[in-house]
Structures are given as structure tokens and as C-alpha cells.
Amino acid sequence: MVLFDEHLSHCATTADVISAAVGPGLEAFGAKAAVIGLTDFRLRLEPVVGSPGIEGFAARCAELALDAPLPITETIRTGRPVGQRPLADGLMGEGSPTDLGAVRECTLPILGTRGVVGALWLFLGPDDPPIDDALLPVLIGRLGAAIDRARILESERRMRARAEWSAARLSRLQSLTSGLSAALGPVDVADVVMTHALAELGATGGTCYMLAEDRTLRPVRSIGDERASTNAISITNDDPLGTILKRSVVVVLPPESAASAGRDDGSLKAVVPLAIRGEVLGAIELIFPRDKDLDGDLRSFLAALGTQCAQAVERARLYAQRAREAHVLQASLMPPALPSIPGLDIAAAYRPFGDGTVVGGDFYDVYALGEGRWGLVVGDVSGKGIEAAAITALARHTTRAAALLGMGPADVLQTLNRVMLSEPLGERFCTIVHGILEPSAEGVAVTLSLGGHPRPLLLDRRKGTVRAVGRPGTAVGVLADPTLLETRLTLHSGDVLVFFTDGCVDFHAEGRTTSDETVLLGVLREHAEEDAGQLTKRLEDEVLNSKGGPSADDVALLVMRARNDEP
């Protein structure tokens, strides 16, 4: 029995225990051969192991139902041993215990902590002494305890493996989510999917499909599947694959089915729908080796992968829609083209803040007033979004209407101030500069009024200097009686006047905002001879470069260079 215990102590799995019981440990029972069988959740014998020489006999016992008319199944059903008795002739054909000279049998129930877990079927030869009835319960007890212990260890290993797999899965999903969060379009989503899915799941190739306008799923990114670019999956007709995908379930195509569908060279494929609220937005087709086990855990992960990707595709669609809407609305707040003004070369630029999906508050306009006069306005409404856009439209159209009535720049801004104060705008206000342009033989006369706006920069070609011009005033929409003054100057040939919003000169760092015109001044000094269009482009580029990334505010520029044209 000591030797039997030693054999059992080295067993790490249930399979080790039952193999030891009918192998090295058989001597402890004093039997010539033995079969051990355990029960599974299907009420069948599984697993079943036989001692050397009767493996075929044991194999025929495997997966027998517990109502089969055999001593081992009877013992498991009743929990009672079957005493030593003569062995039936021709028991289960060739390779039976009788071939080893066994003539007697007995079966013993194996008890675990939860009742009968199996049975041991012993076979004795004609010269073997009767088994010691006092020793048997001890041996069977040790065997049952060893099986319980092995099953606990196996359960712990399974739980640990599942926990490790779950942690790895969570890590993969987090990594995927992080990558998808930065994906701004379907192709970006496809790139992230292919990068993560192939590396993490052991796939040898794959294709990412996205919904096209014709309601078919068309490939947008493929790795390791040269023929994928010609494939399409229809979700509107009788395509079986498309029909299943619309049910939002992972589809596994075995080699035979995949090949017959013309989609594969014999490899195993899994097709994961990208569906949200019942709408299929795309699909991921992954290629696996033939022997890959796409078990429940992996399918569950694929389903989670599909959900994450579908949400990313939906976000990308919404992002594109918002970007289009913001672009259309922002464009409506700017003039479609700048007018041609005698004696002036004019150019403008506008760059929205961030990713361009939210309408900003910066604007500019240049328009004819008649009788050789033109009006200009550059402004910055506080805040962002639809509310800021509404105030931008109000400011732009109010200033134009007031200027067309013949008002001077300061009166124009006073009128805008009264209009804004009469509207329920909350805490919103506007910094703005309004001007009147009057070309003449001497140059272009400019009359300006600043409502809390940054002073424009004047490049004086004759003096070779760059300086800020205009008299500071009060932002409009704040006080009932703002300070709004006028400044008059003349642009001579080669002079440049640059209007800009605070996004060009404000810099944010460590919770502080500083204003610095150094970048604008440097460009004007170094490129004084360039035309308005070239200067505008250089100013825009240098402003954005100086911020080291996307601007946190809008950037608007209006550049005017005087020429020697006749008015």
C-alpha cells in the first residue's frame, strides 16, 4: 500500500491517477487486470483506462451509458460493490480480461467528496488469492481522495489559465480600444484591426470589409489574402454569408465549406460581423490554420472584437459627418471669394482649431460699399460650436448692413454692440475690427475701429519697419457704452497691412496664456517683398508650426498689400 500511495502522490492530473491505479498500482489490489471508469456530466463512462493488455476492452467501455448492463456501470448507478464472482465467458470479444487468464471479477465504487465518481473493475486469475475485504476500502478511499485532489488541482489550473487568458484578452481589448480611439475613418479602423487581430489571435491573414454605398461589404484592407480584393459580401440578396452576418453572429467556415464557397484555399476562416443596433457596418475575415481550435472562448473574444470595431466604425462615420457639417457651416460664415479692389492685393486664410469637427468663432469679410469704397471686418466670437456660429453670422451681417447705410467703422461697431446686448446671448461677446478702404491716387486710405481686437500689423516699405496700428477699444456685447475709436492711415505701394485673430498670437502652456507677435513680425520682416498670397501662406504655416501641433484656437488672417494700380 505504501508503494500505491507513492504512485498516487506523484499524480498531477486525474488521468495520471487512474492510469496509476490500473498500471503500477495494480499490484496493491492483487488483480491480474483492471478497468477504471469515471462519470462525466453526460452520465457516461468518461474517461476509461484499462491495464496493459486490455486496452481494447477498455476502449469499448468508453462512453458507455450508465444504464449499460455491465458490472462497472451497475456499481456506479447503485454505489454498491459487486462481490467477487466468476467472469462471464466471451466478455466483450477479443482483448478481454479472459485473454490474460482472468476468471473472476469484482467492482468497487470510487467515492469522492460529492458521492460516487466512478468505479474500479478488477479481474483475478485462478491462482490469485481473494482480495482482502478489509484492505479494499482503504485502497479505494486513497484512490477516491487522489482523484478529488487531482480534480481540484485541475480546476485550479483551469481557473488560473482562464484568469490569465481573460487578463490577456482584456489587455488585447484595451490595446485595441486605444488604437481604435484614434481611428478617424474606416480605413484607419481596418489598419488597427489587422494589426491587433493577426498578431494576437494567431491568424495567418485576414481582410477587413466595410459597408459600401451599394449595400455590399467590400474589402478596404487585407493581409495574407491576395484574392480578397476581388471579393464582396452582399447583405441585401441571397448571399448565405451575408444573411448570417445580419444576425450579428460570428461565422466559422470549415475548410470544405470555405473552399466550396470560393473564399478559401482550404484554411479555416472566421468571419466577424461589425454590427451596431442591428445594422452591419462591416466584417472582419480572419484566416486560421486548419488545426486551429476556434473554441467558445476564442469565439467570445471575436464577438467582443467585432463589437469594439463596430463602435469605432460608427464613431468614424459620425466624425466624418460632423466634420462635413462643420465645414459647410464654417464656409457659410466666410465670403466665397475676396473682391478685386484697385490698388490692393488681398489674401486670407482660416484654419479651424482641433480636428475641425466643431465650428469656430473666427471670421473675416471684405465687401463693396459702392462709390469706390469697400468694407472689411475681422472678428472672433467667444466660445465654439453652433451658438458661436449664430453670433458670428449676426456680427458679420450686422456690420455689413450698418456699413452699407454709410456709417463709419466706430458707429458700425456701436450698432453691433447694441444689437448683441439686445439678444439673449448669455456671457458671449466678440472682439472685432471694422474698416473702410478707399483707394486713391495717393494710395489706399484705411479707417479702422477696434473693438477689443488685436491691433493689425503695418509693414511700412519705405521705412522698413513693422508696427501695430489702431487705437484699442472695448469688446462688443459687454458694455452698454463701449470705447470705440477710429484710426486713419494710408497704404502706399509695397505697404502691407495684416489683420489676425488671437489664435495667431496666443500660446497656452502650463495653464497660462501668453500673447506674442514675434512669429508674425519675423515673417513680415523676412518676406516683405512677397505678394499677399505668399505672405498669407507663410504666416499661416509659421503660426501653426510655432504651436507644435493642432491649434487650441481658430486662426484667421487677412493680408493686404498696396500696389501702384490706378483706382
Tell me the mean pLDDT in the region 161-187. 72
How far is Cα of residue 219 from the mean position of the Cα atoms in its chain? 18
- Is 256's pLDDT higher than 60? no
154: cell is 485541475
| Alpha helices in 10-54, H assignment, sequence order | 14-21, 26-29
Return d(Cα 231, Cα 219) in angstroms, integer: 7
Query: Among residues 537, 538, 543, 541, which one has the least CA distance to residue 526?
Result: 538
For 33-62, write each residue's pLDDT tens digit: 999 999 877 788 989 999 998 888 888 888
Q: Tell me whether residue 343 is exposed, middle or buried, using C-beta atoms within 10 angstroms of its C-beta: 0 to 12, 13 to 18, 19 or more.
A: buried
HSE, side-chain direction, 13 A CA sphere, residue 402: 24
CB atoms within 10 A of CB 377: 26
Give the pairing of strands 555-562 and 496-500.
Answer: antiparallel
Percent share of the chain, pLDDT over 70? 84
Cα–Cα–Cα angle for 340, 344, 346, rounded to 5 degrees? 70
The predicted pLDDT at position 552 comes to 65
Cell matching residue 544: 501653426
Whether omega for the bond prior to residue 47 falls within 30 degrees of 0, making it cis, is yes
Cα 67 to chain centroid distance, Å, stands at 53
How is 200-264 classified by DSSP, letter by letter?
HH--SEEEEEEE-TTSEEEEEEEES-GGGGG--EESSSS-HHHHHHTTT--EEE-HHHHHHTTS-
Across 131-140, 230-239, 472-481, 514-523, least confident range: 230-239
Mean pLDDT, range 189-195, rounded to an integer: 76
Question: Mind listing the pLDDT tens digit for each residue in 270-288?
Answer: 888 888 887 888 888 888 8
Residue 246 pLDDT: 73
Between 168 and 44, residue with greater pLDDT: 44
- Per mean pLDDT, which of 136-145, 164-173, 384-393 is the most reliable? 136-145
Q: What is the pLDDT of residue 199?
A: 62
Residue 103 in this model has a pLDDT that exceeds 50 = yes
Question: Side-chain half-sphere of 293: how many Cα atoms within 13 Å?
Answer: 3
Q: What is the pLDDT of residue 92?
A: 64
Average pLDDT of the chain, as a whole number: 83
Instruction: Answer yes or no: is pLDDT of 207 > 90.
Output: no
* Bridge partner residues of 257 (DSSP): none
- Mean pLDDT calculated for residue range 236-261: 66
pLDDT digits (tens, 9 = 90+) for 57-74: 888 888 889 999 889 999
Average pLDDT over residues 483-504: 95
Confidence at residue 260, expressed as pLDDT on a 0 to 100 scale: 47
| Cell, residue 169 | 484578452
511 CB-contact burial (10 Å; exposed 0-12 / middle 13-18 / buried 19+):
exposed
Burial class (CB in 10 A: 0-12, 13-18, 19+), 356: middle
**Cβ pair 439, 376 in contact under 8 A:** no
Give the model confidence (pLDDT) of 420-465 as tens digits. Answer: 999 887 778 999 999 999 999 889 999 999 999 999 999 999 998 9
Return the pLDDT at 261: 47
State pTM to two decimals. Answer: 0.55
CA-nearest of 408, 399, 341 to 365 is 399
Over 80: is that where the pLDDT of 299 sits? no
Helical packing angle, 135-181 and 296-332, nearest 10°: 10
Lowest mean pLDDT among 85-89, 196-200, 206-210: 196-200
Query: Residue 263: which pLDDT band, with cuts at 50, 70 and 90?
Result: very low
Query: Percent of the chain beyond pLDDT 90?
Result: 33
Give the model's confidence band at 567: pLDDT under 50 very low, under 70 low, under 90 confident, else very high. Answer: very low
